[in-house]
Amino acid sequence: MGTSSSSPSTLLSADIRLLGDLLGKIIQEQQGISSFDLVEKVRLNAKARRSGDESAAQELLNLIKKTSLEEKSALIKAFSNYFQLINIAEDQQRIRVLRQRERDNQLEETIDGAIKALKDSGYSAERMHKLLAQLRLRFVLTAHPSEAKRQEILVKLRNIAQMMTRQERENLIPIEEDNLISSLAEEIEALWQTRAVRNQKKTVLDEVNFGLYFVTSVIMDVVVEIYDEFYASLQKHFPERDWSDLHRFLRYGSWIGGDRDGNPNVTTDITLETLEIQRDAARAVYLEDLRSLIDHLTQATETAHSTELLTEFVPASESDLLFSDELYRESLVHIIGRLERDEYDNHEDLFEDLKKIQNSLSKNRGKRVAAGKLRRLLRKVRLFGLQLMPLDIREDARLYAGAVAELMAAYGIAENYQDLPEAEKQKLLIAEINNPRPFFPPDPTQFGDTVQHVVKTWQMIAKAHKRYGTECIDAAIASMSQYPSDVLTMLLFAKEVGVQDDIDIAPLFEKIDDLRRAPEVMQTLFENPTYAEHLEKRDKRQSIMIGYSDSSKDGGYIASNWHLYQAQRQLSQACDGYGIEVELFHGRGGSIGRGGGPANRAILSQPAASLRGGIKITEQGEVIAYRYSNRDIARRHLQQVLNAVMLVLGDVENDHVNQT
């Protein structure tokens, strides 16, 4: 066991040795001594080969050739588990170094560092407040087949990581240390016996639950911590202003259960079920926190008076009270009951009920209690609502165009819509958007599968808005967008189901030529009175997505990145010219070729003006597991990204001030 005085490399070696020894013991118990010996021979030969021993390479090859299929299977299992455990040790080392740097006041790329840098550059509290109004960052979780770990494996790995953290940070006595090692061995044994991959194909709802695992177990708490960190730093550097009104500048969204582009398994029923699962997950988190608060808010009424704001929570008959002299607890019982019965139509009502309790505590000598667990729950409710995160609905623009073509032919509007010049397509679409006559057929089953699919999708959006509120699905994205007609088609569909004022219509430009054309496409739309009217209802904000993977496949890595940069700069200029705030949505993958890499460095390289209207970034399956399995690593990721966004926005503000 390492101590705080040990060097970082010594502590890392100790962690690797501990986890490796425990795994070795489990292999001997589960597979036998001969299997363990084989693993050791392979490991030692591989190590020797890396050190330049040429004979070790041949010996390793001969050794593998002689093994049976069963032995190969055991080898694969041993080393896959070993590398997972080593990853935990390396994560612990990274966290260890970060914490030491923070203790020594040497940690860079932090929220406090960005705020201090802006103050040192001349920012006043008022300018900082204006800059923060522009700060909008959303990470969008997406499913990805390259993440194959089962949730059961992730939970076990997280348990092991938490035990390793406890081992280092707590001053354990010998018996506690022995018990912790026994618990580690128990978890590793269970890990060994747990099937590493699924024995059946992953379903969409499996992917939904995979994403929700990270949201409910890590992301929600870490985001609240980030807001606390933001607030503390602002109060430290700009104490002359009250910063308690921080807006929702950091949020999460999801494509999982909403992205139907090329995935026939994402049906309207699946999307609605996803929204219900998210709502249930949110309620479960809040109920757990509320039940914890019942044990915390035990103040007796005679010592911590409650204001008249709480009287509405108390039953008319005092005999109905569970806590007759503890009205704060009684108020929580009332809120829990409403939440269990799903009686809150929106998160604002839940927030207001909790806020009444906080206000009462603050007014009655309970400011510390009001600013503790209850305030953190209030932040959580405000940031994640009753749906946790909004879904985006993505579909291929070509499929949408096919549906329009079929309907226009059936109505006698245009026999060959797909072959018409782009200007003529736009003219027909605008006419239909402004036509009070329905465009969707009363009986879609009289048409082909494409029309049925499109009608059901958009009717589902309207149904979801009615059931869960308009924030549950707040963006529709058309992949492979090329022309203004691709965007107008979505506006037509939104108008057909009555959601045109409640949803962002976002093109996704992916190919190199489409990225080149994107600024002209958006200018054409902005000059169209019908589309301009839609943007007025959306606070003159336009979401535009740019794709990294397809542009890289289309033009190569260097050409792709150059055209992506140019597109961002030109799109920002085009939007500025029409008084439109642009939210650029970066469709990044996990690998470098698909736009992956450190998100903060990518942001620092963006055109400064491209962040004024906010930024959205996809987090794909394998990246989700890496960034959000550990709270400390998740927190560090968000610190670095927010640091980058604020510094870039600060440059935008400075440029603007200099120009005026």
Q: What is the pLDDT of residues 5-32, one digit of tens each?
A: 567 678 999 999 999 999 999 999 999 9
Q: What is the pLDDT of residues 412-440, one digit of tens each?
A: 999 999 999 999 999 999 999 999 999 99
Q: Which of 305, 380, 553, 563 is catalytic?
A: 553
Active site residue 25: no
Whole-angstrom distance, CA of residue 400 vs CA of residue 397: 5
pLDDT at 657 (0 to 100): 37
| Out of 67-76, 485-494, 546-555, least confident range | 546-555
Mean predicted confidence (pLDDT) in 563-581: 92
Mean pLDDT of 396-408: 98
Given a cut of 90, whether residue 1 has pLDDT beyond it is: no
Interval 191-205 mean pLDDT: 88
User: Residues 100-111: pLDDT tens digits?
Assistant: 998 888 899 999
144 is catalytic: yes
**Average pLDDT, integer, range 442-466:** 97
DSSP string, 431-485: HHHT-SS--S-S-GGGS-HHHHHHHHHHHHHHHHHHHH-GGGEEEEEEET--SHH
Residue 385 has pLDDT above 60, yes or no: yes
Residue 553: pLDDT over 90: no
What pLDDT band is residue 370 in, cutting at 50, 70 and 90? confident
Q: What is the rounded average pLDDT for all residues in the chain?
A: 90
> What pLDDT digit, counting tens, does each position of 585-597 carry?
998 755 444 444 5
The four Cα atoms 49, 51, 54, 60 give a dihedral, to 10 degrees, of -10
Confidence of residue 625 (pLDDT cuts 50, 70, 90): confident
DSSP string, 597-653: S-HHHHHHTS-GGGGTT-EEEEE-HHHHHHHHSSHHHHHHHHHHHHHHHHHHHHHHH
Structure confidence at residue 126 (pLDDT): 95
* pLDDT, mean of residues 629-649: 94
**Which percentage of the chain shows pLDDT scores above 70?**
90
The per-residue pLDDT for 557 is: 59
CB 13 within 8 Å of CB 92: no
Residue 500: is its pLDDT beyond 70? yes
End-to-end CA distance of the chain: 61
Q: pLDDT digits over 210-258, tens only?
A: 999 999 999 999 999 999 999 999 999 999 999 988 899 999 999 999 9
Choose, from 144, 156, 425, 616, the residue flagged as catalytic: 144
Give residues with Cβ within 8 angstroms of 543, minimum separation 6.
475, 504, 505, 506, 582, 583, 585, 616
**What's the CATH fold of domain 268-384?**
de novo design (two linked rop proteins) (1.20.1440)
Rounded Cα distance between 484 and 285, Å, is: 43
Residue identified by tokens 């070729």 is 593
Report the range of poorest mean pLDDT among 455-464, 548-557, 571-580. 548-557
What is the model's pTM?
A: 0.89
**Residue 364: per-residue pLDDT:** 85
For 374-396, what is the mean pLDDT? 97
